[in-house]
């Protein structure tokens, strides 16, 4: 019985520790993505193009940080990259649609629209990263 309780405590500790590392990676990735988005939007005026480029840079950074730091994955990097790429394509499509809709249709302030989309994506990325991609 005590062994089972110790295993459960260790699992909860790992989750908290992984969660903190994921949060650090996510915040630093978010700063990179949001900053680059704002800069490119200012430079070009193109919402979707700015979003795609910002996501591409931040996702490359995120893949390396998540694999090496947040989840310390020892699995096949090619498998992780394939799954990560599929999720990247979905996330990019979803956030581009959401950001453009919030800005163009509802006249949201662009950084707020982008931040809203980023938070949405972070909600499903953590469990997918933890249980599927970086195992």
> pLDDT tens-digit profile of 64-110?
999 999 999 999 999 999 999 999 999 989 999 999 999 999 999 99
Rounded alpha-carbon distances, angstroms, from residue 103 to 2, 38, 46: 55, 13, 12
Burial class (CB in 10 A: 0-12, 13-18, 19+), 105: exposed
Asked if the model's pLDDT at residue 11 lies above 60, the reply is: no
Alpha helices, H only, 1-135: 2-44, 47-65, 77-100, 110-128
Considering the entire predicted model, what is its pTM? 0.78
> What is the rounded average pLDDT of the residues 30-43?
95
Q: What is the pLDDT of residue 13?
A: 63
49 confidence band (pLDDT: 50, 70, 90): very high
Q: Is 76 left (phi over 0), alpha (psi -120 to 50) or beta?
A: beta
């Amino acid at each position: 019985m005590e062994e089972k309780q110790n295993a459960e405590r260790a699992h909860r500790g790992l989750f908290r520790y992984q969660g903190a590392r994921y949060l650090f990676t996510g915040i630093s990735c978010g700063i990179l993505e949001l900053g680059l988005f704002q800069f490119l939007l200012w430079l070009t005026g193109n919402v979707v193009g700015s979003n795609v480029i910002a996501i591409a840079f931040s996702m490359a950074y995120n893949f390396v940080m998540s694999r090496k730091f947040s989840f310390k994955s020892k699995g096949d990097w090619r498998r992780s990259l394939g799954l990560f790429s599929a999720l990247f394509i979905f996330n990019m499509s979803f956030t581009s649609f959401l950001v453009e809709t919030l800005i163009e249709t509802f006249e949201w302030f662009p950084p707020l629209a982008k931040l809203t989309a980023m938070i949405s994506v972070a909600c499903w990325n953590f469990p997918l990263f933890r249980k599927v991609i970086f195992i």
